[in-house]
Amino acid sequence: MGVAELKKAELYYHKSLQENVARIVQRSGVCQIIESEDEPDARLMEAQAQLAVCEGQEAHLRYLFRALGSHYTDPVSSIGRMLGEKPVFSLDELGELAQETDLKELASSVKTTESKLNELRIEISQLKVTAGVLSNIKDFPYPLSVLREGTQTLKGVLGTFSIAQLDVFREDLAAYSDETELFVAPQKTKDKDVWVVLLYVRAREQEILELCAKDGMTFVDLPVHISETAAGEASKISDRLVECEHEESAILQGLARTADEWMPALQGMSDYWRILRDRYHALATSAATGSTVKTCFWVPAEAVPALRKQVEAVGPAVAFIASDPTEEDHPPTLLKNNAFNRPAEVLTNLYSPPVYGQRDPTSSMAPFFFLFFGMCLGDAGYAIVIASVLWMLFRKYRKIPSGTKNFMNLFCAGAAATFLYGLVTGSFFGDFIDSFPFMAFLRPLKDALLLVDPLKDPVTILGIALLLGVVHLMFGLGVAAYDEFRRGNYADAAGGKISWILFVLGLLLVGGGSAGKLPSFLYIIGVVMAAAGTGLIFWYAGRGEKNVFLKVGLGLYALYGSTAYLGDILSYSRLLALGLGSAVIGSVINLLGKMIVGVPFIGWLLAILLILGGHVFSLAINLLGAFVHAMRLQYVEFFSKFYTGDGVNFTPLKFQTQYVEVFDEI
Amino acid sequence: MELLGLALALFGAALAGGLAGVGSAIGVGIAGESAAGVMSEDPDKFVKCLMLQALPGTQGFYGFIIVFMVMTKLNMFGTPLVVSWLQGLMVFAACMPVALACWFSAISQGKASAAAIQMISKKPDAVGKALVLPAMVETYAVLSLLTSILLLMFGVQLG
């Protein structure tokens, strides 16, 4: 168990077979393509043309999704889709659909509609602006053509003045009293500006406009076609606005219809072109001569025989060679664990998968993760809630993708640990059983199972937490020592790992013995272990030096590293703190519930709401805490002892779909 | 003056609950700003961002736990115990680790969360590592909670 064995496969085939071969390779879903290192012009050119076609179609699709997506309500929720609720199509069906559909034309027709909609919206906003201006001068009695064209002798100008400036302007205007007429729109109390129309004799236009500008008039232009009276134009505009809004909603309905009609098909096609793009990308990165193509890929050893049979069935012009990876290769990593450990692969991959051929930490980590998760959440009631939610999801969704399923199973196992820990610490939705008389029937059961109550005896739990920390850390060091032994690095194993195990355990025995909690022979064993550990640490740190003083100095410095172990072990005290946290928050919610029951008439309802809401909230926050901290103890304290990661995940060429599920029968 | 002890104890509890809450509010706020920025580009990262944003929120709860424990210790839900001013001061002192460490650690954790949120906007697969970085800060809040609990349970003798 651990990292699956991979083979490096080379596939040689005649160019005419490329479609068939690539299809089989992609359908198998177990081949990670290795890009050819040859010059681009020694690659398969035809596939690159096909690749460009796929990318072109995907560009149209991206546009269509953007334009139509907001007018479409997807019948499948995004959570449902994540849990595998996707319509099923065969690749051939989708292929026919893609051949029949002219995406370019559809995109351009949607584009036309969209630009019509935009024009309409611009018109609407312009009309609204004009209507706003007209509403200010609705009492102006003359036709507005006087502003643009004027009459033979008269012309007008429209604009605004600040209220303070208006009086100044009136005074200045008095000089032209018989050659101008000033219309001032009625003011509302809050207005800072006032609308005016000034009519003047055409002959003096320049002087008067200069005067206006000098006194701070803001000139306002009306659109060209406005020529009737303000009231008349305003009613024309409001008619046009109604028309425009009708047109707009008709276009929107049209878009919604198009979306309803096309989106399901577009989703299928989007996945289809994605599949083809991946396929042609694989081909386009294959090496090619005049008539032969060579595709290389990584494939799990156990999948080789079946794959060989399938590709060789294509025709005699196919050769399949599988070999072991060499020193120069950098194979990706595919984790392979039993059903119990598999969910925890998620955690390994979240950190970083191991380099191919190195140890997979999943199986050593999984039991600890579940235990720590259980201790942090630590409530049987919450565990039942989590398990029920997961059970309902599993029942409703039958085709959950494996990645999501692993993640859900991770929480199933975590919930089991939480349940057990909740039982032995007597925590069921906090102190729910003790808080409410109607739960009294469960009290004897709870008390019978109770081993230790963290609220009354936190020190015992703290001791257990720290002890678990020691076990976890020593286990990590043991694994590291084992790995060093296997590689033949005996000095590293003894001096760098086993020495610390001896040292830490020895000191613990000494401490326990001198406190009188352990039999005295263990004390003696402890002294011997600690001394042996110290000796090894000194030897290992100074083994490269000849100078005795330097040897001692390096040894002391290495011994100073023991503070890190102290910190690491104390870090496990979070198991107590987080467990206590869930218990206390749960109890407080119950307490508040008990207090609020006393409210007349609706007290019981308020209490139910408060207890439900409170526990949901408490569960959410404690679940996050339990997950993060149980994970952190693995990543920071445990992995640092023996694991570096730095691998690359195995990502095979497969039917990678977002909206539909695709199968392929050949 | 016989209530001085009780007042001191409550003052300590109030600081534990209040300052830890202040820290969490600031920390969650800092992380929230960062999350909103990332989500304006990619709304699908909501769940990941929310998880990271919630991390500095726990300090507020640690403060609350201490408030509750002080109230239980003083039997506030029944007839409050009469405590001397020296005992009250002891309770006050026991509250201080949580009040101070949670206050400041939540703010720092908020900054680390904000940075981690930026990190997953560029590398969504690194969410595991992104969760661990702010959790490193939380260690000290957890230790302070533990210190306060131990001080309250074993350091302060009432009654």
Tokens for A647, please give them: 């691998």
Pick from A421, A422, A417: nearest CA to A368:
A417
Q: Could you read off the pLDDT of A362-402 as tens digits, one per residue?
A: 999 999 999 999 999 999 999 999 999 999 999 998 888 88
Q: Could you read off the pLDDT of A257-281 as tens digits, one per residue?
A: 999 999 999 999 999 999 999 999 9
Are the CB atoms for A24 and A666 separated by under 8 Å?
A: yes
Q: For residues A631-640, give the mean pLDDT.
A: 90
Superfamily of domain B4-155: lithium bound rotor ring of v- atpase (1.20.120.610)
Q: Would you call A629 and B135 a contact, using CB atoms and an 8 Å cutoff?
A: yes
Q: Which residue of chain B has the CA closest to A627?
A: B131
Q: For residues A314-318, give the mean pLDDT.
A: 86
Amino acid at A337: N
Q: Could you read off the pLDDT of A516-561 as tens digits, one per residue?
A: 778 888 899 999 999 999 999 999 988 888 888 888 888 888 888 8
A257 within some domain: yes
Say whether pLDDT at A179 is over 80: no
Q: Model confidence at A610, in pLDDT bands (50, 70, 90)?
A: very high
Q: What is the CATH number of the domain that holds A151?
A: 3.30.70.2750
Are the CB atoms for A283 and A295 separated by under 8 Å?
A: yes
Measured between CB atoms, does A454 come within 8 Å of chain B?
A: no
Do residue A55 and residue A180 come from a single domain? no
In this structure, of A45-54, A185-194, A359-368, B35-44, the range with the lowest mean pLDDT score is: A185-194
- Chain A positions touching B150 (Cβ under 8 A) are 458-459
Say whether pLDDT at A301 is over 80: yes
Distances (CA, A) of B66 to A624, B80, B113, B146, B150: 21, 17, 25, 10, 11
Are the CB atoms for A222 and A156 separated by under 8 Å?
A: no
Do residue A125 and residue A166 come from a single domain? no
Q: Would you call B132 and A573 a contact, using CB atoms and an 8 Å cutoff?
A: no
Report the sign of the C-alpha dihedral through residues A237, A243, A244, A249, in that order: positive
CB half-sphere exposure, A317, CA atoms < 13 A: 12
Tokens for A61, please give them: 């699709």
Pick from B56, B55, B50: nearest CA to B35:
B50
What rounded mean pLDDT belongs to chain A? 89
| Residue A458, C-beta contacts closer than 8 angstroms, at least 6 positions apart | A576, A580, B149, B150, B153
Are the CB atoms for A251 and A74 separated by under 8 Å?
A: no
State how far the Cα of A412 lies from the Cα of A343, in Å rounded to an integer.
9
Measured between CB atoms, does A482 come within 8 Å of chain B?
A: no
Domain boundary among A284, A308, A338: A284
Low-confidence ranges of chain B (pLDDT < 70): 1, 159
pLDDT at A42: 72
H helix runs in A6-73, sequence order? 18-28, 45-69
Beta carbons within 10 angstroms of residue A221's beta carbon: 12
Q: Could you read off the pLDDT of A100-127 as tens digits, one per residue?
A: 889 999 999 999 999 999 999 999 999 9
**A545 exposed, middle or buried (CB, 10 Å; 0-12, 13-18, 19+)?**
middle
Q: Would you call B145 and A350 a contact, using CB atoms and an 8 Å cutoff?
A: no
- Chain B positions touching A581 (Cβ under 8 A) are 58, 61-62, 65, 145
Do residue A123 and residue A49 come from a single domain? yes
Are the CB atoms for A621 and A306 separated by under 8 Å?
A: no
Q: Would you call A581 and B138 a contact, using CB atoms and an 8 Å cutoff?
A: no
Do residue A125 and residue A245 come from a single domain? yes
pLDDT at A1: 54
Q: Which residue of chain B has the CA closest to A578?
A: B142
The shortest C-alpha distance from A303 to chain B (Å) reads 27
Distances (CA, A) of A544 to A283, A489, A550, A555, A618: 53, 15, 10, 12, 55
State how far the Cα of A415 lies from the Cα of A424, in Å rounded to an integer.
14
pLDDT at A149: 81
Q: Could you read off the pLDDT of A9-46 as tens digits, one per residue?
A: 999 999 888 888 999 999 999 999 998 887 777 777 78
Measured between CB atoms, does A79 come within 8 Å of chain B?
A: no
Count: domains in chain A: 2
Portion 35-54 of B in contact with A at CB < 8 A: 51, 54
Q: Could you read off the pLDDT of A78-90 as tens digits, one per residue?
A: 788 888 888 889 9
Are the CB atoms for A137 and A230 separated by under 8 Å?
A: yes
Q: Would you call B132 and A347 a contact, using CB atoms and an 8 Å cutoff?
A: no
- Ordered by start, the domain boundaries in chain B are 4-155
Do residue A51 and residue A122 come from a single domain? yes
Q: For residues A204-211, give the mean pLDDT.
A: 86
Q: ipTM value of the model?
A: 0.80
pLDDT at A150: 82
Are the CB atoms for A145 and A227 separated by under 8 Å?
A: yes
The shortest C-alpha distance from B139 to chain A (Å) reads 7
Q: Model confidence at A69, in pLDDT bands (50, 70, 90)?
A: confident
pLDDT at A365: 92
Cβ contacts from A onto B, under 8 A: 71
Pick from B120, B132, B122, B148: nearest CA to B59:
B148
Measured in whole angstroms, the distance separating CA B100 from the mean position of its chain's CA atoms is: 9
Measured between CB atoms, does B131 come within 8 Å of chain A?
A: yes
Do residue A248 and residue A208 come from a single domain? no
Helix (H, G, I), strand (E, B) or coil at A323: strand
Measured between CB atoms, does A1 come within 8 Å of chain B?
A: no
Q: For residues A329-350, give the mean pLDDT.
A: 89
Say whether pLDDT at A666 is over 70: no
CA angle B32–B34–B35, rounded 5-degree value: 60
Domain hosting A205: range is: 145-221
Are the CB atoms for A476 and A504 separated by under 8 Å?
A: no
| Residue A160, C-beta contacts closer than 8 angstroms, at least 6 positions apart | A193, A194, A195, A196, A217, A218, A220
- Chain A positions touching B136 (Cβ under 8 A) are 632, 636
Measured between CB atoms, does B142 come within 8 Å of chain A?
A: yes
Are the CB atoms for B146 and A573 separated by under 8 Å?
A: yes
- Chain B positions touching A631 (Cβ under 8 A) are 128, 131-132, 135
Q: For residues A194-207, give the mean pLDDT.
A: 86
SS3 breakdown of chain A: % helix, strand, coil, rounded to 5? 65, 10, 25
Do residue A119 and residue A154 come from a single domain? no
Q: Could you read off the pLDDT of A476-505 as tens digits, one per residue?
A: 999 999 999 998 899 889 988 999 999 999
Name the residue among B62, B131, B143 with its Cβ closest to that of A581.
B62
What whole-number percentage of chain A has pLDDT above 70? 100
Q: Would you call A584 and B68 a contact, using CB atoms and an 8 Å cutoff?
A: yes
Q: For residues A291-307, give the mean pLDDT.
A: 92
Pick from A349, A406, A299, A282: nearest CA to A648:
A349
The shortest C-alpha distance from B2 to chain A (Å) reads 28
Measured between CB atoms, does A635 come within 8 Å of chain B?
A: yes
Portion 94-113 of B in contact with A at CB < 8 A: none
Do residue A121 and residue A248 come from a single domain? yes
Amino acid at A413: A
